[in-house]
Amino acid sequence: MNSISREIQLTDDQIEAAFRALGHGIALGYGDEDHVTVTHDTLDQFRGARRQYCEPGRLIERKVGDYSALVIEGVRALKGQQRRDLIVIDFGPVRASYLA
C-alpha cells in the first residue's frame, strides 16, 4: 500500500479501476503515483478553478460506482502549454486528480 492508497483508504487495484472506468489507466506502484494528487479541494473548487485557465476544456460529469468524478478534456492552464485531460474522482474525504 502506498501513500495514495492510505489517504484514499482503498487498494491500489480499486483506485486504478476507478480511473480505468473513466478511460484513463494508471499503474500505482509503477510510477503513476507521482502524477496523482490527493487533495481536500472539492469538485466545486475544481469546476471553478477551470474558469481561470487559458482554455477551460470540456467538462464532463461522471459517476464511478458510488463516486462522483469530473473529466475535463483538452484543458490548458497556461498559454503555450499542451492541452491535457484532467480527471478528478471524489473518494469521500479526499479527491484524487490525474493530469493525463
> What are the tens digits of pLDDT across the range 37-83?
999 999 999 999 999 999 999 999 999 999 999 999 999 989 999 99
71 vs 89: CA distance, rounded Å:
9
pTM of the model: 0.90
Tell me the residue type at 69: A
The tens digit of pLDDT for each residue in 6-46 reads 888 899 899 999 999 999 888 887 877 778 999 999 999 99
